[in-house]
């Protein structure tokens, strides 16, 4: 077993969205695999590529057996040439295909920023809607085991800044499948970012094809005292914090926006009108990040509902360190959310 996996097994407690229910369950990775499998099966225009797509590990299990099933023409490994492969994906989308470009880390997408920002995001607008780019770019956020500065970034704040990109970060197996199906069906470029520590988690995932619309947040746990807008793995951390805080008489309402662009402002503002207090928990940096955007939105549109200044629980503004001692100081989780909540209730 790879070290990182070992660490996740040890340090990330199991999470089951439908604990105690006797229904069909898949873990996060299996849900993504099923979604990709069904997309390939139903739509001959869909193809998937990425460095290591046919590795024994199969991109954390999300592509296992798909090359065998669909052949090397539709599921293929690529050279480490992110700029050209994503550019190729864009060109093929212009010619009627629906590419899924898979990357082990968002860090590696930096090599393809020209194609993502200057081509994929622009084509529809620049040519007055004549050539939309239906493209899904998947990337997995790393964390821990000294992954360090270049193998652990989420960077979704960069992508949400650029008009023309849709940005999706699922937190549960059910959402992962439904949002992936929606991403593939969308006519526009979608950046789909998965957190490595979510892959072992499970939940109810129907076998049939279903889609979850973008721009619809979900209340993962209803509550009355504090609204927690949590992104990606921070949803799980927030749910754990909520359990702990319940024992202390503090009730968190945990909201998962699921897609950051488009973003469901209404669900957030509605919750805020009830609680008056806001924590934004993100797996990205604090400065200029999406959490700042959420707080700005609340300042503009929900200012009078605020009873306390909003709090951002985000990564400190430094690159990810390697040493596990520094990692502990760097990452945010249950204790930070608990602390922020207790302070807000004082």
What sign for the dihedral angle of Cα 202, 206, 212, 217?
Answer: negative
Confirm if 277 and 307 have CB atoms less than 8 A apart: yes
Closer residue to other proteins in complex, CB, 62/78: 78
Q: Which range, of 51-59, 89-97, 323-331, 334-342, touches other proteins by CB under 8 A?
A: 89-97
Helix (H) / strand (E) containing 267: helix 265-275
90 near other proteins, rule: CB under 8 A: yes
* 206/4 Cα distance (integer angstroms): 29
213 near other proteins, rule: CB under 8 A: no
Identify the residue among 119, 173, 291, 294 touching other proteins (CB under 8 A): 119
42 near other proteins, rule: CB under 8 A: no
* 241/333 Cα distance (integer angstroms): 8
Identify the residue among 156, 166, 196, 312 touching other proteins (CB under 8 A): 166
Q: Between β-strands 25-27 and 202-204, what pairing exists: parallel, antiparallel or unpaired?
A: antiparallel
CB of 156 to other proteins, least distance (A): 18
Return left, alpha or beta for 129; rule: phi > 0 is left, psi -120 to 50 is alpha, else beta.
left
124 near other proteins, rule: CB under 8 A: yes
Confirm if 183 and 129 have CB atoms less than 8 A apart: no
CB of 22 to other proteins, least distance (A): 41
Instruction: Look up tokens 């502990």; give the residue.
Output: 328
CB of 295 to other proteins, least distance (A): 24
Identify the residue among 22, 23, 56, 95 touching other proteins (CB under 8 A): 95
308 near other proteins, rule: CB under 8 A: no
Q: Which of 133, 139, 130 is nearest to 159 (CA)?
A: 139
CB of 309 to other proteins, least distance (A): 32
The footprint of other proteins (CB under 8 A) covers 47, 73-74, 78-79, 81, 83-97, 114-115, 118-119, 123-132, 163-164, 166, 187-188
């Amino acid at each position: 077993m790879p070290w990182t996996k070992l660490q996740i097994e040890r340090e990330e407690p199991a999470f089951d969205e439908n604990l105690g229910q006797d229904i069909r369950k898949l873990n996060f990775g299996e849900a993504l695999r099923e979604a990709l499998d069904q997309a390939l099966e139903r739509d001959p225009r869909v193809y998937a590529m990425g460095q290591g797509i046919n590795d024994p590990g199969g991109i954390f299990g999300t592509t296992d057996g798909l090359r065998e099933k669909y052949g090397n023409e539709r599921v293929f490994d690529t050279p480490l040439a992110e700029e050209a492969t994503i550019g190729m994906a864009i060109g093929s989308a212009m010619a009627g295909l629906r590419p899924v470009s898979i990357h082990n880390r968002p860090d590696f997408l930096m090599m393809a920023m020209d194609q993502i920002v200057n081509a994929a995001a622009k084509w529809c607008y620049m040519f007055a809607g004549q050539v939309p780019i239906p493209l899904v770019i998947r990337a997995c956020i790393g964390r821990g085991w000294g992954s360090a500065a270049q193998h652990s970034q989420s960077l979704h704040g960069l992508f949400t800044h650029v008009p023309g990109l849709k940005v999706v970060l699922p937190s549960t197996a059910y959402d992962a499948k439904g949002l992936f199906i929606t991403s593939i069906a969308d006519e526009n470029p979608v950046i789909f970012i998965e957190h490595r520590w979510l892959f072992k988690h499970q939940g109810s995932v129907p076998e049939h094809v279903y889609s979850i619309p973008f721009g619809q947040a979900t209340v993962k746990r209803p509550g009355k005292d504090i609204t927690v807008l949590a992104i990606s793995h921070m949803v799980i951390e927030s749910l754990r914090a909520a359990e702990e805080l319940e024992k202390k008489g503090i009730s968190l309402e945990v909201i998962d926006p699921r897609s950051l662009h488009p973003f469901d402002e209404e669900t957030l503002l509605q919750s805020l009108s009830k609680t008056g207090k806001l924590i934004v928990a993100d797996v990205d940096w604090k400065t200029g990040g999406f959490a700042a955007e959420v707080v700005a939105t609340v300042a503009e549109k929900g200012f009078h509902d605020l009873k306390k200044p909003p709090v951002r629980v985000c990564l400190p503004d430094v690159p990810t360190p390697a040493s596990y001692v520094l990692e502990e100081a760097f990452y945010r989780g249950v204790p930070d959310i608990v602390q922020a909540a207790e302070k807000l209730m004082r």
